[in-house]
Structure 1
């Protein structure tokens, strides 16, 4: 089974939205038995909390379910449990790269590396909508859907 982990700061906005989007796409593609999806945060500010209400609203409007998700902190053990660990921004990528044990096979990358290059924002990051307006959550979700579509294509190819 392939394991994919999405990582943001507190695991209440971007990474749980990415988890919800990717789960729905994986389910629709008939790959749920072959791909495990999860999310985590680099910091423990929000441990055990549900996703931000703005993230839940934006996701629900597009048919993504997030109500059962709870924030957790990324741990070194995740490098051994997941094949692909995707950071929402370069700060997260930096943290993950520094903490990655040399012997692990987990690949660490920026999530939007999977989005079409022309569609990526400058810097290739999903901006943090935390504390923002509904439009900020919608924009983050737009980018997450772009990255998820590209990631799904990669997953399909690698599982053949």
Structure 2
């Protein structure tokens, strides 16, 4: 999940943050989850795929649990599939109106590749990339993300 904009995936988080930075926008992008053990490092395949695409995930990145404050502060929350969206609705009903599928504009849910080979992580990267790029563009167009003010 991605909040602040919140993502549930370290790959999703890296890509949303990448497009926010690329477009010079002001946003805090974080990844939180429901099930991953707190403190777990990203899957080696996720690190490898991200690095190969020039959008590295920090090796010191660790899984963190979502909490009420994250949900209240988030502008948009991106989840990977309908099951995640239902879980957000169950735990945080007030966040439902700002919770969306990362792959919404592509008409797809994105499966968790955790026990899959590297090739599946590559496929998931492509899905996350398309979703992140489109969401950042649309959030900017809607005035929900603004260009960083240089002081």
- Match in the other structure for 1:12: none
Match for 2:34 among 37, 42, 45?
A: 42
**How many pairs are equivalent?**
141
TM-score by structure 1 length?
0.80
Superposed CA offset, 1:97-156 (max 9, x none): 111244x6961111111x33xxx4xxx211111121111100000100110111121122
CA contact (8 A) 1:79 1:106 kept: no
Structure-2-length-normalised TM-score: 0.85
Alignment partner, residue 129 of structure 2: 145
Tell me what 2:15 maps to: 21
Aligned-CA RMSD value: 1.9
* Distance change >3 Å, CA 80–CA 69, structure 1 → 2: same
- Extract unaligned runs of 5+ from structure 1: 8-14
Q: Indicate conservation of the 8 Å contact 1:48/1:72, yes or no.
A: yes
Partners of 1:83 and 1:139 in 2: CA distance: 27
Map 1:69-88; keep pairs closer than 5 Å.
69-88=61-80
How far is 1:77 from its partner?
A: 2.1
Offset at residue 76 of structure 1 (A) = 2.2
In 1, Cα distance between the equivalents of 2:73 and 2:60?
21
Q: Distance in 1 between matches of 2:81 and 2:93?
A: 20
1:64 paired residue number: 55
Q: Take 1:87 and 1:100, find their aligned partners in 2: how far apart are those partners? A: 13
Specify which of 82, 87, 90 is matched with residue 95 of structure 1. 87
